[in-house]
Chain A
Amino acid sequence: MERIISVALVGNPNCGKTSLFNALTGLNQKVSNFPGTTVEKKMGETMLSDTVKLQIIDLPGTYSLYPKSADELVTYEILRNKSETNFPDLVVFIADASNLKRNLLLFTQVCDLGVPAILALNMLDVAERRGISYNLEALSEALQVPVIPINARKRIGVEPIKQTILERLPKAHAAFYSIDHLSQEMLAELGKVSDKRNAYAALQYAINAKELISEKSLRIKEIFTQYQFDARQFQEEEVFARYHLIDAAVKKSRIQAQDNLKKSITKRVDAVLTHRFYGIGIFLVLMFLIFQAVFSWSTYPMELVENAFAFLSEYVKNALPQGVLNDLLVQGVLAGLSGVIVFLPQIIVLFFFIAILEDIGYMARVGFIMDRVMRPFGMNGKSIVPLISGMACAVPSIMASRSIENKRERLITILVIPLMSCSARLPVYALLISIFIPDTAVWGPFNIHGLVLMLMYLIGFVAALLSAWIFKHFIKSAQQNYFLMELPGYKLPLPGNLLITLYEKASAFVVGAGKIIIAVSVILWVLASTGPRDKMNAVAQKYEQHMAQLNETEKNEALLGGLNLQRDADFLEASYAGQFGKFIEPAIRPLGFDWKIGIALLTSMAAREVFVGTMSTIYSVSGADDNLHSIRAAMLSETNTQTGKPSYSLATVFSLLLFYAFALQCISTVAIVRKETGGSKWAIIQFVYLTVLAYGSSFLVYQLFG
């Protein structure tokens, strides 16, 4: 019989939890989609022996068990409640040896909750470089727990940890901090309200829960008043007492060679990276390089993907017998998929840079530099990382906003994140920009496409700031506002961690987007190739009659002259999809959109990137084959049947670009906002304001320049 042991990895932020998690599980983890830091639990597993399986939960980093932000709350919720399904058998506490005292504060709190724990001491090499080392036996003796030296980055100590877990599950620790001095009656009363493992856990729960509005919090406040208990005072005493205990334990085990306080590298690097001129300059140059990398340097892998799909389409087309299935696969599924998978290289490149900057510790500096800039807009420096990751994908970014303590600043950040141009818009921008703007190199590897793209991102960013500024005046908060953030020491990024992150992003994109795209492509193909019988028959008849009147030479000439294309276009117009596009055309004509764009708008309501897939499906259905160049060619030669002018005038393209820059066409975003804000209210408000903004600005642009 297989036995399962579950452990949770707990520790301060940046102590190496995720590195250890990756070292323990490898790729054996559930794919999740977060930028850089962990804000939600992550599950993985490994075998301890032939019969024992180890389940590992990686938890968001926290400084104490009095959570102050939503990500810290995730960790607290799992550790506090024994009946929670993810409650661990054992906590592997990862402590940064170069900052041991502060790390041990949380450790003693976790132990006092009554969860068995072992201590994994990480970054001993960093401590050693500062002239500090530890007698691990003395430390283990002082803390009464097994202490295992590890180097999560070099994967040293993984086996000893597994062995310790397997050999003996430690018993729960005797309390570090005793609360015997408090009124026993009060603790008994609190125990009734919160029903926790021990008195400390009950009190801690009461202090955390009294802030929430519920029947429990009322009762808790009553009890506190009755026994004249000052929670703030207690917490302060608790922290001081714990530090006192920790000081004693650390003193017994610390071996300090000499006061080797050489000026920290961090300080010198920060002097440049946060400098008032160089700092801002470096930030802007980095952003610019990332855009260039995403837009111009990823064209080579993109061409590879494109060619692979062209080859695959050809192969399927010839291998399968002619018929409905063949058409569906080639013109529906493959055309839709290739239109989107082709952008995988760009998404990987973007996430690659974000992950590297996060790993190095640079993103925290960006928060430091930008806090003053973000403040007038009702946000803070911590909003920057979610906003920048919003350029990759809004969904994980909205989750990343959990690290923002202030509820109001977090809400404003969430509301404006979708205005940051995410990678799903890249395909749309790429297609539209390439239609009208020549691909001229400006200087070396930089080209004008990259610059225009950067402008689109800038428009999104400015719109995000302005919307935030407006929201600031409507959303009020009674919460005390403060901004406190740790600037972690600089680290070299770990290739292994990077690869795992990229693998996660890539598979989340392919699986997540792929599912929607295949479904939408298939439905769209069906709707575009079938239609009301009378209308479809009318088109068929018209061309039959026309053909019947011609002799052989005329027929060939007509076919060469694009008669087939004309017929296919007429069929599309008669199809259900065409009928629908026609139906909504009056509403979108003021924006400069025709019924074909109408179809694409509709299908991309679920996910923006479907626009390109839809365009390829529509134009593939009406004759062209499926690659970017041919969609582009088909769109360029398209004429508006009513005006006789080209369908894609410059004004139409700009109107479309703006519409896609602002509109919230992403079901996943709506769903995650609902979840993170705890209700439909803000999700609806967000959807409405973004739709109004998109329609309004497209309308203005087309009316002014059309």
Chain B
Amino acid sequence: MNLSEIKLGQHAIVRKVNGDILALKLFEMGMLPGETVELENIAPFGDPIAIRVGESKLCLRLEDAAHVEIELH
């Protein structure tokens, strides 16, 4: 399952992040394998989504979130 399929309020654990620059950028911003993520908000048009990871809140598009493999809590 990947991060673009998570439902509002669900928690999950990051397993793997694919993609080139995007993956590095996500790592730098704290979205590391093993971290817990939560879907906090969805933008009015269904995309992008706001993900809580650690103490940060990140906004990412569904197509980018699809690069993040997760496992539900």
- Residue ranges of A at the interface with B (Cβ–Cβ < 8 Å): 63-64, 66, 68, 98-99, 101-102, 105, 232, 235-236, 239-240, 243, 264, 266-267, 270-271, 274-277, 279-280, 364, 367-369, 371-373, 381, 480, 482-489
Contacts and interface: CB of A to CB of B under 8 A. Distances in A.
7 contacts: A66-B28, A98-B55, A239-B32, A270-B50, A372-B44, A484-B25, A486-B29
Given A232-B20, A236-B24, A274 B58 contact: no
B58 A372 contact: no
B47 A372 contact: yes
A267 B42 CA distance: 11
A266 B40 CA distance: 10
Contact of B45 (A270, A373, A482): A373
B54 A372 contact: no
A208 to B, nearest CB: 12
Contact of A99 (B43, B46, B54): B54
B1 interface: no
Q: How extensive is the interface on chain B, given as a class?
A: 20 to 34
A484 B23 contact: no
Residue picked from B28, B29, B45, most chain A C-beta under 10 Å: B28
Residue picked from A98, A105, A372, A489, most chain B C-beta under 10 Å: A372
B27 A482 contact: no
B44 A239 contact: no
B20 A480 contact: yes
B72 interface: no
Nearest to A264: B52
B44 A275 contact: yes
A274 B54 contact: no
A228 to B, nearest CB: 18
Given A102-B29, A487-B57, 16 more contacts: A68-B25, A99-B56, A102-B55, A240-B27, A267-B40, A270-B40, A368-B41, A369-B44, A372-B44, A372-B47, A373-B45, A482-B60, A483-B61, A484-B58, A485-B58, A487-B58
B64 to A, nearest CB: 5
B41 to A, nearest CB: 5
A109 to B, nearest CB: 10
Interface string B10-37: 0000000001111111111110100000
A482 B52 contact: no
Residue picked from B29, B48, B58, most chain A C-beta under 10 Å: B48
Contacts of B43: 274, 368-369, 371-372
A477 B16 CA distance: 27
A105 B59 contact: no
Given A274-B44, A275-B44, A372-B47, A102 B26 contact: no
A368 B44 CA distance: 9
Given A66-B24, A239-B24, A280-B44, A102 B60 contact: no
A483 B21 CA distance: 11
5 pairs of A and B residues whose beta carbons are closest in the complex: A372-B45, A99-B55, A276-B44, A487-B57, A102-B30
Contacts of B56: 99, 102, 486
A590 B45 CA distance: 44
Contacts of B25: 63, 68, 482, 484
B59 A482 contact: no
Given A368-B50, A482-B61, A267 B41 contact: yes
Residue picked from A99, A266, A368, most chain B C-beta under 10 Å: A368
A239 B50 contact: no
A225 to B, nearest CB: 18
A482 B64 contact: yes
B55 A487 contact: no
Contacts of B45: 276, 372-373
Contacts of A381: 48, 59
Given A102-B54, A487-B57, A68 B21 contact: yes
A65 to B, nearest CB: 10
Contacts of A277: 44
B59 A486 contact: yes
B59 A243 contact: no
Contact of B22 (A236, A270, A274, A480): A480
B17 to A, nearest CB: 9
A484 B32 CA distance: 15
Given A101-B30, A236-B27, A239-B24, A270 B41 contact: yes
A487 B50 contact: yes
A647 B56 CA distance: 60
A267 B57 CA distance: 9
Contacts of A266: 57
B52 to A, nearest CB: 7
A280 B44 CA distance: 8
A480 B59 contact: no
Contact of B60 (A101, A267, A483): A483
